[in-house]
Amino acid sequence: MKVVLLQDVKSQGKKDQIIEVSDGYARNFLFPKKLAAPADAKAVNDIKNRQSSENFRRETERAEAKVLADKISSLTVKLTADAGADGRFYGAVTSKDIAEGLKSQHGIEVDKRKILLASPIKSFGVYKTDIKLLSDVTAKLTVSVTEK
């Protein structure tokens, strides 16, 4: 019997998969526990519609992220910091500072966890940092650190 899984079932499959199981397993275990439903035309059509809408949502999200990545790549965030006589910072410029600078200077809000710094910036200069917008969309931001 073909059934559509309504939830993940261990050793059988994931939610929204259509699987073949024995009639007794379906009637006595899967259906009473609301883990599966019979794979009729309506259920199969619902799954296809859900998957196509999810794919459409992902594609629009990816397109928006690419546009934002292009915009971010052309920007420069200017930050200032205090330093001692030897030119070393008292603190450091972190991803939080970069995220705040990007929001205040350009109006683009990015989560600080998406800004990838190898290590905190501890000296003056111009740096390139990556911002991971999606798993496959990354923007390169220029950060300029000057003295107060």
Q: Which residue has the tokens 């883990």?
A: 35
Which residue segments constitute the domains of the chain, with CATH numbers given? 2-65 (3.40.5.10), 68-147 (3.10.430.100)
Q: If the chain, 148 residues long, is cut into consecutive pieces of 10 residues, what is the mean pLDDT of each piece? A: 92 91 94 93 91 95 94 91 77 90 92 90 89 91 88
Residue type, 32: P
Angle at 144 between CA 139 and CA 147, to 5 degrees: 160
- Residue 101 has a pLDDT of 93
* pTM for this model (two decimals): 0.70
- Residue 57 has a pLDDT of 96
- Residue 118 has a pLDDT of 85
- Residue 92 has a pLDDT of 86
- Residue 126 has a pLDDT of 92
| Residue 89: closest CA among 123, 118, 126, 119 | 123
- Residue 60 has a pLDDT of 96
- Residue 147 has a pLDDT of 84
